[in-house]
Chains A and B, each alone.
Chain A
Amino acid sequence: MIARNVTRGSSADGRVRFAVPKGALFADCVRLLRELGIDIAGLADPGRQLVVQAPEFEFIIGKPSDIPVYVASGAADIGISGKDVLAELELDVVEMVDLGFGGCRFVVAEPEDAHASIEESYRHLGVIRVATKYPRVTEAHFAAKGVQVEIVKLNGNIEIAPLIGIADQVVDITQTGTTLRENRLRIVEDVMPSTARFVANPSSLRTQGGRVEELARRMSELSVQ
């Protein structure tokens, strides 16, 4: 026998593995789980722990952009992930419930005074340079509009890209637009809205004997209220 069940699949004792994103969505996830009446043990204050054992679940705390990877690979059975990350990664997970929290939107933004010059350079050069953390969403958006772009993939501080001259426009997620405004960027277009989603591994959905559906049902009842 080859012992691989340590690294993949549901935990050895049959508890469901639940991937929870750290960062902006974490507090809302904890609140949601409490509202559902789930015993979350030490999840609310995990310290440096990345795996938290609770009676019904094994919680795995991960980077938001890694949650869909955990779930699609089956390392976690279920998880909570922003639609922004799901749209970018396009992995095979079942998007079960729109949880309503973590609202933000993908926008196209450019320097406040640059509109005329970007149009001008598009006329001459036929391409706009766009900086983003989300190359796939960006590519799909501009392709649907028939605008030719060159995408510059950056890993952070997208809003400074036009200031340092690496790109003409940016595609980024924003909640209030404050960071963009502070960097003298103006929103010129909405790409898509995003909220947190409850996602499941397609195989776990079918092999966990209805537990995942039951959880999804209770979550959607909560998010309707």
Chain B
Amino acid sequence: MRPVTPRGFRDALPQEAAEREWLVRTMSSVMDSWGYGPVETPVAEEYATLEAGAGSLEGTAFRLFDSDGRLLALRPEMTVPIARLAATRLAGEPGPLRLRYAADVFREQASMRGQARQFAQVGLELIGARGPSADAEVIAVLVESLRSTGLTRFTVGVGTVEVLYAIIAAAGMDDAWGRDVLAASHERNLVGIDALARADGVSEVAAAALRAVPRIRGSRDAIDLCRAAATGCGVDAALDALAGTWDLLEVLGVAESASVDFGIMRSFDYYSGMVLEAYAPGLGLPLGGGGRYDDVMAAFNAPQPAAGFAVGIERLHIALAEQGVAIATPALDAVIGGESADAFVAARRLRGAGWRVRLSDRTGLPLVREALAAQAAEALYATADGDILRLDRSGEPASPLPESPGEPPTRSWAAGEGSR
């Protein structure tokens, strides 16, 4: 047989995998510097646990029965598994908890759409803290993490779902209408929202607010625009909190990478306050998103405020490529040939000096060709006397390396003038 991966699942070969690893490491170290510690959770969870936290997962989650007949699901995101972990394993810990993760998540996709079903995410959760300072911290770490990868052009849109909930409450309509409005906003269907605003019985203030608010985007001024557009809908408290968050973003120097955006409604139902989405120009899909989910912990009998974000590594990788940012993954420093024992000993010496060295059973010109193909900076040969000889481009021994090899080379001998 010629084996293939299942639809929507794929491999990453060394170049791509090394770049992905670098992205994860770079962003994780930013989160580390803010005091976030790593956690891991199992790939599979009880389906009921995920549903209790996230609401309906119909059509989203990969479901499976185990041999006991229990219904399990592969995690479709990391927020609910980490909320479960915080509510159970870390229940006694004094908060707030600052947890980060780098993990694969799984989502079912209809066939024939060419969509991935496994995604790598890097993200964090801040559990047990509320208010503008907690929201601003989450946004700031997101902005700093993205900047740390070399991404220069991106926007983190920040909104709050409380505004829409307040407008729905002020409309004086039944629950079914409210659900329709939420569904239309999840679908980003502004035409549908306008139609619902025209329904009989919708209070005038709510109708006007519904038509205007989802289109409001900007800087601090957008908060005032929203306040004016939703007068009489009871949105002041939510907007005051958002203004407080924005003040802190300005202090932290991340406001220029952020925007206020009342059009953001995340597709998971659990968000209860601040919501955010990161966009890069030229990338049609959000890089990542998140927000405040104060009710999820309550679903696990550990009511606590919480907020977080996740960044999709695949999408970030594409956005960096679009913006011409090359990820410098460390290349091989040398390929070394020679009798096994000689080469092992010589390679250990080089590694001790910080070199990345690959062993080869080739000699002469074939060894040089291998080094060129591997983009190694040096082609070396270990002698029985313990010397390490450089090979020139024709495969002949040239100058020996000094007794103590020194720092790894920074420039390829193939790119320069023969052997260095």
Please report A residues at the B interface, Cβ cutoff 8 Å. Answer: 1-2, 4-5, 8-10, 71-75, 90, 92-98, 197, 201-208, 213
Contacts and interface: CB of A to CB of B under 8 A. Distances in A.
Contacts of A206: 155, 157, 217, 259, 261, 279
B71 interface: no
Interface in B161-212: 187-192, 194
Interface of B: 153, 155, 157, 187-192, 194, 215, 217, 259, 261, 263, 277, 279-286, 318, 321-322, 324-326
Contact of A8 (B157, B190, B282, B324): B282
B279 A74 contact: no
A94 to B, nearest CB: 4
20 contacts: A1-B321, A1-B326, A4-B322, A9-B322, A10-B281, A71-B284, A73-B284, A90-B187, A92-B188, A92-B285, A93-B188, A95-B188, A95-B190, A95-B191, A95-B192, A97-B190, A202-B285, A203-B284, A203-B286, A206-B261
Q: Which of A8, A98, A202, A203 has the most CB of B within 10 A?
A: A203
Contact of A97 (B191, B277, B286): B191
Given A92-B188, A205-B263, A206-B157, 16 more contacts: A1-B324, A4-B318, A4-B321, A8-B282, A10-B281, A10-B282, A94-B188, A95-B187, A95-B188, A96-B191, A98-B191, A202-B188, A202-B277, A207-B281, A207-B282, A213-B215
B8 to A, nearest CB: 16
B157 A9 contact: no
B191 A203 contact: no
A134 B199 CA distance: 28
Contacts of A73: 284
A74 B282 contact: yes
Contacts of A202: 188, 277, 279, 285-286
B66 to A, nearest CB: 30
Nearest to A14: B281
Given A94-B188, A95-B192, A203 B217 contact: no
Contact of A204 (B190, B191, B284, B325): B284
B326 A74 contact: no
Nearest to A210: B217
Q: Which 9 A-B pairs have the closest CB atoms?
A: A74-B284, A9-B282, A207-B281, A2-B321, A94-B188, A95-B189, A1-B324, A203-B279, A98-B191
Nearest to A93: B188
Contact of B284 (A4, A75, A213): A75
Contacts of A8: 282-284, 322
Contacts of B187: 90, 95
A74 B324 contact: no
Contacts of A205: 263
Nearest to A209: B281
B279 A207 contact: yes
Contact of A74 (B157, B188, B259, B285): B285
Contacts of B318: 4
A22 to B, nearest CB: 22
A90 B188 CA distance: 11
Contacts of B191: 95-98, 197
A115 B189 CA distance: 36
Nearest to A201: B284
Contacts of A9: 281-284, 322
Contacts of B194: 98
